[in-house]
Amino acid sequence: MLKWLWLGMLAAGLTGLAAPAAQAQGGVRRHLVYLRDKTGTPFSVAQPQAFLSARAVARRTRQGIAVLPRDLPVNPAYVAQIRSVSGSPQVVYTSRWFNAVLVSCDSATLGRIAALPIVRSATTLNRFYQAPTPSTPSVQVPAPASRTQATRAQYGPAYRQAQQIGVTAMHDAGFRGDGMHIAVFDAGFPGVDQIPAIQPVYLENRLAGTRNFVDGGTGVYQRSSHGTNCMSAIAANQSGFYVGTAPKATFHLCITEDIYSEHPVEEANWLAAAEYADSAGVDVISSSLGYTTFDAPSRSYTYADMNGRTAISTRAATMAARVGMLVVSAAGNEGDDPWHYISAPADADSIMSVGAVDSLGNRAYFSSYGPTADGRIKPTLAVMGLAAAVLAPNGAAFRGNGTSFACPIMAGMAAGFWQANPTLTAQQVIAALRSTASQANNPDNSLGYGIPNFVTAYNVLHPTAPLAAKASAAPAESLGLYPNPSGDGPLTLVLPAALRGQPLRVRVVDARGAVVLQQQLPAASGRELPLRTPRLAKGAYTCEVSAGTARQTVKFVQQ
């Protein structure tokens, strides 16, 4: 049922994968056709350069991973047989790992395909659904003027989520993801190419590829802004405004999720994206997507299916791990819902499944629980996903809830950690971060092995040249507000400890200095407090909150 794992706003010639079809998924049925073998294939494991990039081969070589028959492309002669079946079936893409072909055709044509001697089985992955509507063009917003203050100011609202896991120290040590390739799988990336904070990716030629596995082709600046939010948590790099966790990494953006329906075809898209990422030489996959319940008549999963070997996306994630990629997956947001547990592909073995905590390290109420159905501890780790800061398509920063946001924050840190320790395998990266996390000695199915920290993990591996512990010292909390940008609904204050337990005085001032709201609020014991305002005109505002002698401000935008 989860199309993407968030809960809303708070304040290159690679033959291993056929080119995506130009026709969109809407209005057609897609079927995954599994083939019996790869007999007679013209490809050979002795010549992987015919279907894998040099980066992909090098990644395997560094980790001692052999190119195996599973890596060979589908036999082209088999694909030609499928194409020749009457009914004009369209081959959308092929899967090396599953030895399968995704075809678009009607049921009668599928029956003729299934009767071919080369076919082992076939399954239908989607039904009809609504075509997408055009996305709203993004606009740029001016960046704050101050860029020369202390570390907190340099990172803007992303400071705490970075500092909590040692990313600020990682950056100070010179590890910002340089040379690491990160693939982001999501539902769309509108505005990414226009957001000022992400412009360095383009100016420095660090966008290595884009693929749209829903509509076909390479256009990704469309559809849902969820991918924009997630990518920004890694890639943004505008000192004084917002800095992500791996701002110098190279990126591959892949649309795999269709927000207009929920069927297993989206998991097949995930598989195709993972094979693209493999062949392109990607190091880290960041996926804030999850699957439990599908639209009728597709069969939904049960908790028993979360066993690491049933769901298509789970099997694909496991294969991605086996070829040496570090797969980072959001655990899910079902912790306070009847489902309760993680979703696919977070149940996959050998990947990093990420739960969510708040800025103080407490479990976020929505973060999904483990274990997997076969008893493995999940999530693997947990990072800040409650009131996490990300960017909107118009470039504005806001805070949101979801393991969706915890996932890319963690993926960026993992990329920087791997950059700092290039001789490790992907599995050793996971093991190092897991074994040094906050509850490594007492893992559970709430936060897994706990909150990781770059400094702690790095120092274990480099005892003779440790990083300074002061680099990860906890900062004082600051006032937050969401949603930001705001709309017509109520606002919520996120209170630091200094403003709790006392009556509050609140003032909201517009850009001209005029007071548009002034009120007294009762003492709050928790972190969040609703704030009702009159209808505000579009523009920039400053909210000032005082308690006793303590006073803090936060800026927000009314849209």
What percent of the chain is modeled with pLDDT above 70? 89
Strand partners, 291: 344
Work out the average pLDDT over 524-539.
Answer: 83
Tokens of 143: 């960046």
CB 200 within 8 A of CB 270: no
CB 5 within 8 A of CB 385: no
Work out the average pLDDT over 258-262.
Answer: 90
Residues 48-77 as b or e (16 or more Cβ within 10 Å = b): beebbbeebbebbeebebebeeebbbbbee
pLDDT (0 to 100) of residue 478: 75
Give backbone dihedrals phi and psi of 142, rounded to 5 degrees, phi first.
-65, 145
pLDDT (0 to 100) of residue 480: 80
Residues 506-517 as b or e (16 or more Cβ within 10 Å = b): bebbbeeeeebb
User: What does each C-alpha distance from 213 to 16, 187, 217, 218, 517 come to in angstroms?
Assistant: 15, 10, 7, 8, 47
User: DSSP code of 537?
Assistant: P
CB 15 within 8 A of CB 89: no
Show which of 124, 140, 166 is a domain's final residue: 124
- Say yes or no to pLDDT of 405 above 50: yes
Any domain includes 136 = no
Element (H, E) at 481: strand 480-482
Any domain includes 297 = yes
pLDDT band at 116 (very low <50, low <70, confident <90, very high): very high
Sheet holding 480-482, edge to edge: 480-482, 491-494, 528-531
User: What does each C-alpha distance from 92 to 30, 251, 315, 542 come to in angstroms?
Assistant: 9, 24, 20, 51
Q: Which residue has the tokens 């400890």?
A: 497
Work out the average pLDDT over 161-170.
Answer: 96
Catalytic residue among 31, 171, 181, 226: 226
111 and 162 in a single domain? The answer is no
56 and 100 in a single domain? The answer is yes
Cα separation, 475 vs 454, in Å, equals 17
What percent of the chain is modeled with pLDDT above 90? 73
- Say yes or no to pLDDT of 175 above 60: yes
pLDDT (0 to 100) of residue 93: 94
276 and 399 in a single domain? The answer is yes
First to last CA, the chain: 30
Any domain includes 292 = yes
Q: Is 295 a catalytic residue?
A: no
185 and 296 in a single domain? The answer is yes
200 and 97 in a single domain? The answer is no
pLDDT (0 to 100) of residue 101: 98
Task: Count the neighbouring beta carbons within 10 Å of the beta carbon of residue 47.
Answer: 11
- Say yes or no to pLDDT of 100 above 60: yes
Any domain includes 141 = no
Show which of 415, 439, 465 is a domain's final residue: 465
Strand partners, 515: 509
Which of 204-213, 223-232, 468-477 has the least mean pLDDT? 468-477
Cα separation, 212 vs 216, in Å, equals 5
Any domain includes 162 = yes
Any domain includes 80 = yes
461 and 496 in a single domain? The answer is no
Cα separation, 3 vs 293, in Å, equals 9
Catalytic residue among 286, 287, 368, 404: 404
- Say yes or no to pLDDT of 95 above 60: yes
Cα separation, 411 vs 167, in Å, equals 11
pLDDT (0 to 100) of residue 127: 63
Any domain includes 475 = no
pLDDT (0 to 100) of residue 180: 98
400 and 530 in a single domain? The answer is no
CATH code of the domain covering residue 392: 3.40.50.200
Which of 240-244, 260-264, 284-288, 532-536 has the least mean pLDDT? 532-536
Tokens of 494: 């996120």
Work out the average pLDDT over 297-326.
Answer: 97
* Secondary structure of residue 315 in the 3-state scheme: helix
Q: Is 404 a catalytic residue?
A: yes
Burial class (CB in 10 A: 0-12, 13-18, 19+), 23: middle
CATH code of the domain covering residue 545: 2.60.40.3080
Q: Which residue has the tokens 């905590």?
A: 357
pTM exceeds 0.85: no
423 and 517 in a single domain? The answer is no
Task: Count the neighbouring beta carbons within 10 Å of the beta carbon of residue 3.
Answer: 18
Strand partners, 121: 34
Number of domains observed in the structure of the chain: 3
Helix runs in 164-218, H state only: 167-172, 199-203
Which of 41-55, 115-129, 308-322, 355-369 has the least mean pLDDT? 115-129
Tokens of 346: 């977070």
- Say yes or no to pLDDT of 22 above 60: no
- Say yes or no to pLDDT of 133 above 50: no
CA angle 217, 219, 223 (to 5 degrees): 120
490 and 378 in a single domain? The answer is no
Cα separation, 374 vs 305, in Å, equals 9
- Say yes or no to pLDDT of 485 above 90: no
Closest by CA to 287, choosing from 366, 200, 348, 243, is 348
For the chain, what is the largest distance between any 2 Cα atoms, rounded to a whole number of angstroms?
Answer: 80
Cα separation, 44 vs 73, in Å, equals 9
For residue range 354-386, what is the model confidence (pLDDT) as tens digits? 999 999 999 999 999 999 999 999 999 999 999
Cα separation, 282 vs 273, in Å, equals 11
Residues 177-190 as b or e (16 or more Cβ within 10 Å = b): beebbbbbbbbbbb
Work out the average pLDDT over 241-269.
Answer: 96
- Say yes or no to pLDDT of 472 above 80: no
User: What does each C-alpha distance from 491 to 28, 346, 403 come to in angstroms?
Assistant: 42, 32, 22
Q: Which residues contact 111 (CB under 8 A, 6 or more apart)?
A: none
Cα separation, 210 vs 220, in Å, equals 7
Q: Which residues contact 231 (CB under 8 A, 6 or more apart)?
A: 184, 186, 189, 192, 198, 251, 253, 408
Q: Is 226 a catalytic residue?
A: yes
Amino acid at 463: P
CA angle 226, 232, 237 (to 5 degrees): 170
Work out the average pLDDT over 499-513.
Answer: 87
Any domain includes 415 = yes
91 and 165 in a single domain? The answer is no
440 and 528 in a single domain? The answer is no
User: What does each C-alpha distance from 191 to 155, 188, 220, 254, 269 come to in angstroms?
Assistant: 21, 10, 10, 15, 22
Domain residues for 355? 155-465
Work out the average pLDDT over 500-528.
Answer: 86
Catalytic residue among 186, 278, 347, 358: 186
Tokens of 18: 């056929």
86 and 206 in a single domain? The answer is no
Closest by CA to 328, choosing from 248, 402, 412, is 412
pLDDT (0 to 100) of residue 151: 66
